[in-house]
Amino acid sequence: MNAKLIAFSAIVTAFLGAGIGFVIAHLLPCPYTSQMYKNLDQKYAIIGAVAGLLIGSSQEMIRELKQERDAEEDLLRDLDKAIRSSTNKKNY
């Protein structure tokens, strides 16, 4: 697997998630004034960044694993064709 590509995908989606969290915090103002509800924009941005990091890295890992699996299947298919063609030549 390409670790650089996975890290890049994770970082990009983390930034997107942080931005989405920040926008959501500003679009949905909180009516409460308790200390727990202070700095919700930062909290939402952190939650969005973590979610984006997890989603982006897992998506890229799945894509990488699928490419590896497809390459192995193609190799096995080609090997099977070669074996079948060599056994068919022997039968003639």
Range of the domain at 23: 3-91
* Regions of the chain short of the pLDDT cut 70: 89-92
Give the per-residue pLDDT at 74: 94
Task: Say whether pTM exceeds 0.95.
Answer: no
CA Rg, the chain, in Å? 25
* 39/88 Cα distance (integer angstroms): 73
Distances in whole angstroms, Cα of residue 51 to Cα of each of 11, 14, 15, 48, 58: 11, 7, 10, 5, 11
Give the per-residue pLDDT at 92: 56
* 75/22 Cα distance (integer angstroms): 47
Based on the structure, what is the number of domains in the chain? 1
